[in-house]
């Protein structure tokens, strides 16, 4: 009996030892923070202002991330930051040559071992030095964005030659993508290129965002440093070199679309057609169907009234009604049939020259109304003083949304519309008219009060040529 008892004790001891060993292994696994990673977002064109977003798999809101931006010259309170997950930002010193910093993120959670990873970030900053105009500066140098207008993002067969699209972004779809339409594409004078996204950009299923939507930029499409560009204006060719660097949509590459971020190529070549402050970008995406993506880019900082404008040849571009400046209902809003009856109005040009002079350009005919002796209204030869005979000038206050045109007969939209009324005779034309003018890229929305008693305005929507 004693022998048996001793045997039982030995077996029990062995079981207990094994149990302790397994429990220790389980505790070791539970003590690990897994999948630590972080994204680096470049927040300004110079590349010295960045944001860091740290993540783990699975995410745990109790985890504290410590971000060391690796700047030995900075204030430690700024260089080392803590977050539970939201982006933290840091601005490196402005330098005259490339500087590489090592960013280290450490994840900590009570009862678990800390985990750290590091990544390098290179700051390329060159102060702006005015050396006068240079013939070697690329004509696309500057900051560009997608044009905030319907049709600025399109895909379809042979659209480079006017083919019909499979998809063309409309106003509603555009407004769902603010994080795409505020992305910046920066072509520096020294041949370097930068994507500048801020804290969010547009993510799609190939990046794990299904349905597609706004989110933190993902590698390698998270504004990689060191990208360059080569633009051949004569051959309408634009090549961007740098893995993840791109225009428009991250998924669109030569002769296809990405199935995974890991497939991003080192270089993308676009067809690029430059027209002043508009850059039309095409890229073949489906060889079998000869299908292209199209992106319309506008130069940032150049929303400028300088240039030639015309009434937008779309319904609603000419309207009048009570409080329409604040969305009130119009008494009249031009439809397609009425628009088609006024070709001589919709081909009129309104020219704002860089020297402050203004011109109405009508050609042989413009739109005449009863106050000019044309009843019913219709097309006819321009009548003095609304015949582009004035030596006119303009003053535009973009911040104050005020546009004044000086010169008797000089005007926008309809000749009869002046401040606080409508003309009953051409001879009553004032020497000056002031409009409310809202400039948005290549669109100019103009309002002018015409009926004070009813708070009624005329509205003209113009587009840049």
User: 266-296 pLDDT, tens per residue?
Assistant: 999 999 999 878 899 999 998 889 999 999 9
Give the pLDDT confidence score for residue 59 in this predicted structure.
Answer: 67
The string of pLDDT tens digits covering residues 172-195 is 898 899 999 999 999 998 899 999
What is d(CA 229, CA 241) in angstroms, rounded to the nearest whole number?
A: 6
Give the pLDDT confidence score for residue 121 in this predicted structure.
Answer: 87
- In 357-442 the beta strands, taken as DSSP E runs, fall at 357-361, 366-368, 378-380, 392-397, 402-406, 417-418, 421-422, 432-440
- Terminus-to-terminus CA distance in the chain, angstroms? 107
The string of pLDDT tens digits covering residues 205-225 is 999 999 999 999 999 999 878
Phi-psi region of 31 (alpha: psi -120 to 50; beta: other; left: phi over 0): alpha
- Say if residue 459's pLDDT is above 60: yes
pLDDT band at 136 (very low <50, low <70, confident <90, very high): low
- Say if residue 24's pLDDT is above 90: no
Q: Which fold has domain 37-123?
A: Immunoglobulin-like (2.60.40)
Give the pLDDT confidence score for residue 134 in this predicted structure.
Answer: 46
Over range 59-66, report the average pLDDT.
80
CA angle centred on 215, ends 238 and 242, rounded to 5°: 30
Give the pLDDT confidence score for residue 8 in this predicted structure.
Answer: 43
Give the pLDDT confidence score for residue 19 in this predicted structure.
Answer: 45
Give the pLDDT confidence score for residue 17 in this predicted structure.
Answer: 42
Residue 373 DSSP SS3:
coil
Over range 374-397, report the average pLDDT.
93
Residue 261 or 129, more confident: 261
- Say if residue 13's pLDDT is above 50: no
φ, ψ for residue 345, nearest 5 deg: -90, -40
CB 284 within 8 A of CB 292: yes
Over range 389-406, report the average pLDDT.
88
pLDDT band at 62 (very low <50, low <70, confident <90, very high): confident
Residues contacting 172, CB < 8 A, separation 6+? none
CB 418 within 8 A of CB 436: no
Tokens of 114: 């800390």
Give the pLDDT confidence score for residue 45 in this predicted structure.
Answer: 66
φ, ψ for residue 179, nearest 5 deg: -75, -15
Give the pLDDT confidence score for residue 429 in this predicted structure.
Answer: 95
Percent of the chain residues past pLDDT 90, beyond the cut: 58
- Say if residue 322's pLDDT is above 50: yes
CB 426 within 8 A of CB 372: yes
| 37-123 matches 142-299 in fold | no
Give the pLDDT confidence score for residue 216 in this predicted structure.
Answer: 95
Give the pLDDT confidence score for residue 162 in this predicted structure.
Answer: 87
Over range 254-272, report the average pLDDT.
94
Tokens of 306: 């300088």
Give the pLDDT confidence score for residue 7 in this predicted structure.
Answer: 42
- Say if residue 41's pLDDT is above 90: no
- Say if residue 129's pLDDT is above 50: no
pLDDT band at 366 (very low <50, low <70, confident <90, very high): very high
Domain ranges of the chain: 37-123, 142-299, 307-464
Q: How many residues does the chain have?
A: 465
pLDDT band at 328 (very low <50, low <70, confident <90, very high): confident
Phi-psi region of 191 (alpha: psi -120 to 50; beta: other; left: phi over 0): left
What is d(CA 272, CA 281) in angstroms, rounded to the nearest whole number?
A: 5
Give the pLDDT confidence score for residue 197 in this predicted structure.
Answer: 92
Q: Mean of the per-residue pLDDT values for the chain?
A: 86
pLDDT band at 81 (very low <50, low <70, confident <90, very high): confident
The string of pLDDT tens digits covering residues 290-313 is 999 999 998 876 557 888 999 999
Class (C level, CATH) for 307-464: mainly beta
Give the pLDDT confidence score for residue 303 in this predicted structure.
Answer: 56
User: In the CATH scheme, what is the code of domain 142-299?
Assistant: 2.40.128
What does DSSP assign to residue 165?
P
The string of pLDDT tens digits covering residues 93-120 is 877 778 899 999 999 988 888 999 999 9
């Amino acid at each position: 009996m004693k022998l048996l008892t001793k045997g039982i004790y030995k077996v029990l001891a062995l079981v207990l030892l094994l149990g302790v060993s397994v429990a220790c292994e389980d505790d070791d696994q539970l003590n690990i923070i897994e999948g630590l990673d972080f994204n680096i977002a470049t927040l300004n064109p110079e590349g010295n202002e960045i944001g860091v977003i740290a993540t783990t798999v699975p995410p745990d809101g109790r985890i504290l991330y410590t971000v060391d931006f690796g700047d030995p010259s900075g204030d430690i309170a700024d260089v080392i930051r803590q977050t539970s997950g939201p982006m933290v930002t840091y601005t490196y010193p402005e330098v005259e040559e490339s500087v590489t910093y090592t960013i280290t993120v450490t994840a900590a959670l009570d009862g678990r071992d800390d985990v750290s990873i590091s990544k390098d970030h290179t700051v390329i900053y060159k102060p702006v030095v005015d050396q006068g105009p240079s013939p070697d500066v690329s004509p696309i140098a500057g900051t560009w964005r997608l044009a905030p207008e319907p049709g600025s993002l399109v895909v379809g067969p042979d659209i480079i030659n006017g083919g019909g699209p499979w998809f063309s972004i409309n106003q509603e779809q555009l407004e769902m993508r603010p994080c795409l339409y505020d992305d910046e594409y920066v072509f520096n004078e020294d041949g370097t290129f930068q994507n500048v996204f801020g804290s969010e950009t547009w993510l799609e299923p190939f990046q794990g965002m299904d349905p597609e939507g706004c989110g933190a930029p993902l590698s390698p499409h998270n504004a990689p440093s060191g990208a360059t560009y080569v633009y051949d204006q004569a051959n309408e060719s634009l090549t961007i070199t740098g893995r993840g660097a791109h225009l428009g949509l991250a998924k669109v590459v030569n002769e296809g679309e990405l199935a995974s971020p890991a497939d991003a190529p080192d270089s993308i070549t676009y067809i690029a057609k430059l027209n002043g402050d508009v850059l039309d970008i095409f890229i073949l995406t489906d060889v079998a169907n000869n299908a292209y993506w199209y992106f319309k880019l506008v130069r940032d900082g150049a929303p400028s009234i300088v240039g030639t404008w015309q009434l937008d040849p779309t319904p609603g571009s000419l309207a009048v009604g009570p409080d329409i400046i604040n969305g009130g209902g119009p008494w009249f809003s031009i439809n397609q049939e009425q628009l088609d009856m006024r070709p001589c109005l919709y081909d009129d040009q309104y020219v704002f020259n860089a020297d402050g002079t203004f011109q109405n350009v009508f050609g042989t005919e413009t739109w005449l109304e009863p106050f000019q002796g044309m009843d019913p209204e219709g097309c006819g030869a321009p009548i003095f003083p609304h015949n582009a005979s004035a030596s006119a000038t303009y003053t535009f206050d973009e911040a104050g949304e005020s546009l004044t045109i000086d010169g008797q007969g000089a005007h926008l939209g309809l000749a009869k519309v002046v401040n606080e009324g409508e003309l009953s005779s051409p001879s009553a034309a004032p020497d000056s008219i002031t409009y409310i003018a809202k400039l948005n890229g290549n669109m100019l929305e103009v309002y002018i009060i015409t009926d004070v008693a009813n708070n009624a305005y005329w509205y003209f929507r113009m587009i840049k040529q």
